[in-house]
Chain A
């Protein structure tokens, strides 16, 4: 499968809070713009329902969870799937470091929310570089 060998960035995509959208937007920025050759994603709900093909990918490749809130659904779903979790990010931590960048809403993040997503994306990309340098 083409995705094998890449780092999997898996956001919670929480639909109830704007911070879930920030995690999702950060993931797209990483896998489509910052590190398209090194990173990819997979649908988190496929881990939730224990899809065999996706379980195999998560167990055989490095996974980074990106969660919107302290429930950390992405991290917990990867862990309970016995996926190879190598790093975890929580949007609330990044917001705490950038208090002025509160997103507007779940559907539209607005300029501040998008900026917050970009800051998070840079952090994720940096972690991917570290993972790949240590291989």
Chain B
């Protein structure tokens, strides 16, 4: 199996039931589309169970960051169980403690405050990507 060393996998929980799940999803997309588009790839977390061995090889092929909304840590647990141990874990509810003025309420359309929080989470993911790839930005 080829291990890819110049790209990092980012697996988001995208939890539907909590605003933090939506933040994890949007933050992950910000990293993939804007902050580190050439350095990152993703996979749908439920595809680890629904897909084939090709999909389950993901975290063995790419060093992977799990991005979780809450302390259930579905992305971390699911990635570890079906694919491989993530090299890093980011938990939105933990990051939120650093920004108590930014509140989350909506699961659907993010408010300006929630978008700010998603950007903060995205920046932490991007910093972790750089660390894994041994790059300074």
Interface residue ranges, A against B (CB under 8 Å): 10-16, 20, 24-25, 27-28, 32, 41-49, 51, 71-74, 76-77, 80, 105-107
Contacts and interface: CB of A to CB of B under 8 A. Distances in A.
A14 B72 contact: no
Interface residues of B, number: 33
Contacts of B12: 15
Contacts of B78: 45, 48-49
A49 B77 contact: yes
Contacts, number: 100
A115 B14 CA distance: 22
B129 interface: no
B33 A76 contact: no
Nearest to A79: B50
> Which 3 pairs between the two chains have the least Cβ-Cβ distance?
A45-B74, A73-B46, A76-B50
Contacts of B107: 28, 32
Nearest to B44: A14
Contacts of B37: none
B28 to A, nearest CB: 6
B16 A10 contact: yes
Given A16-B44, A42-B16, A48-B49, 18 more contacts: A13-B44, A28-B107, A28-B108, A43-B15, A43-B16, A43-B21, A44-B14, A44-B16, A46-B74, A48-B46, A48-B74, A49-B77, A51-B74, A73-B44, A73-B49, A74-B46, A80-B49, A107-B30
B25 A13 contact: yes
B116 to A, nearest CB: 15
Given A13-B25, A72-B50, A45 B75 contact: yes
A107 B33 contact: yes
B108 A32 contact: yes
B113 to A, nearest CB: 17
Contact of A77 (B28, B42, B46): B46
B47 interface: yes
Contacts of B28: 15
Contact of B45 (A48, A51, A106, A107): A48
B4 to A, nearest CB: 17
B44 A43 contact: no
B87 interface: no
A126 B49 CA distance: 29
A21 B74 CA distance: 19
B7 to A, nearest CB: 15
Q: Which of B14, B29, B46 has the most CB of A within 10 A?
A: B46
